[in-house]
């Protein structure tokens, strides 16, 4: 119903499967080689930036989100779409009114859990965003994410273990809150689906 099983769709699935297993540091290197020169050419700044780091993370997490969304859509019983089509609904209406609302808890879970993964990411961001610690963040200038900031705290002759531990606790709390939000949102959407 969604995509024909042809060479193009099989190639895209294979590409997604392959890229989902690539280490994040490779994505960071690719971001440094592709996004940084492109963005610096437009903005006139030098080095990594928040924008290049964001693009790198988006490309890095895209395969994971695509696979999870695909699985969420596959879990929706085919009898739902068949019943909708039998009642005269178009394919487009069936997708937007039947399939996507039933797959929504899984789709939102994938997005929120990916945000949790982004928060703890460091390897890709060291290359594509840099490790600059500053008070005035700008989209086209380098900054340090929380995970990269932990790394910078532990560098040098006198490592700042207290700061590194505090940042680690912040990351853990944020990821815990996101995980709980995902669970609660999933339960709420499933309850709403059951009531309708």
- SS3 of the chain: the string is CCCCCCHHHHHHHHHHHHHCCCCHHHHHHHHHHHHHHHHHHHHCCCCCCHHHHHHHHHHHHHHHHHHHHHHHHHHCCHHHHHHHHHCCCCHHHHHHHHHHHHHHHHHHHHHHHHHHHHHCCCHHHHHHCCCCCCCCCCCCCCCCCHHHHHHHHCCCCCCCHHHHHHHHHHHHHHHHHHHHHHHHHHHHHHHHHHHC
Determine contact, residues 52/127, Cβ cutoff 8 Å. Answer: no
Domains and CATH numbers, the chain: 7-195 (1.10.3720.10)
Q: Is the pLDDT of residue 1 over 60?
A: no
Pairwise pLDDT comparison (179 vs 134), residue with the higher score? 179
Confidence bin at 86 (pLDDT 50/70/90)? very high
Structure confidence by residue, pLDDT tens digits, 27-74:
989 989 999 999 988 888 888 888 998 899 999 989 888 888 888 898
Residue 129's nearest CA partner among 46, 66, 53, 25 is: 53
Higher-scoring residue by pLDDT: 196, 110: 110
Report how far apart, in Å, the C-alpha atoms of 35 and of each of 53, 62, 103, 133 are.
8, 16, 33, 21
User: Which pTM was predicted?
Assistant: 0.78
Tell me the pLDDT tens digit for each residue of 107-142. Answer: 888 888 888 788 878 888 888 888 777 777 778 888
């Amino acid at each position: 119903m969604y995509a024909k099983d042809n060479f193009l769709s099989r190639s895209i699935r294979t590409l997604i499967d392959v890229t989902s297993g690539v280490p994040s540091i490779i994505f960071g290197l690719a971001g440094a080689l592709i996004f940084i020169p492109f963005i610096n050419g437009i903005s006139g700044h030098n080095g990594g930036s928040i924008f290049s780091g964001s693009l790198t993370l988006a490309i890095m997490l895209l395969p994971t989100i695509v696979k999870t969304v695909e699985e969420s859509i596959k879990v929706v019983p085919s009898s739902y779409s068949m019943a909708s089509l039998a009642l005269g609904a178009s394919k487009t209406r069936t997708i937007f009114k039947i399939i996507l609302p039933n797959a929504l808890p899984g789709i939102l879970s994938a997005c929120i859990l990916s945000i949790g993964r982004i928060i703890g990411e460091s390897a890709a961001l060291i290359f594509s965003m840099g490790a600059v610690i500053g008070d005035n963040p700008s989209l086209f200038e380098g900054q340090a994410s929380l995970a990269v900031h932990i790394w910078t705290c532990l560098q040098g002759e006198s490592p700042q273990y207290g700061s590194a531990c505090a940042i680690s606790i912040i990351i853990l709390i944020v990821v815990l809150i996101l995980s709980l939000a995902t669970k609660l949102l999933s339960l709420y959407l499933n309850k709403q689906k059951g009531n309708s």
